[in-house]
Structure 1
Amino acid sequence: MNARRGLAQTLHWVGNLELREKRHAEAGRAFAETLESARRIGDRVGEALGLQGLGVANLRLGLMEEAGESLRSSP
């Protein structure tokens, strides 16, 4: 489980780096993978971070509905 948690954390950091570089679509993909990995292992904190990051990426892409859904779904 530690390796899977490490993967989720790494993907989260990749998403943050992509946001900083203004590569919002790539960030969204990294955060979606973070979310999927976190859910697979039952990591609620990782799930929340994935949803938050996905919401921010969608917001920066102008996808307001999707951003709102992600941010409201965060545990």
Structure 2
Amino acid sequence: MTLKATVSAITDAPSLSDRLWSVQDVSAYLGVPVETLYRWRKNRTGPPAARVGRHLRYDPVDVRAWVRARVA
């Protein structure tokens, strides 16, 4: 791989703020156990999530909006 290709791969990679969050990321952000997130999803009371393949992913913007709606 050339230096130009390496730099391009690094700069094109999504930053932490651009990527979707995993269940573990949301768990750490909210300070709740992973099991709680799964229970909230089953009961349709938690932040919105989507399946990507067999993985559950959260949009950070949606999670933050869900928190703001709960606090207000």
State the TM-score bracket (shorter-chain normalisation): under 0.3
Which has more radius of gyration?
2
What TM-score, normalized to structure 2?
0.28
- Greater share of strand residues, 1 or 2? 2
What TM-score, normalized to structure 1?
0.27
- Greater share of helix residues, 1 or 2? 1
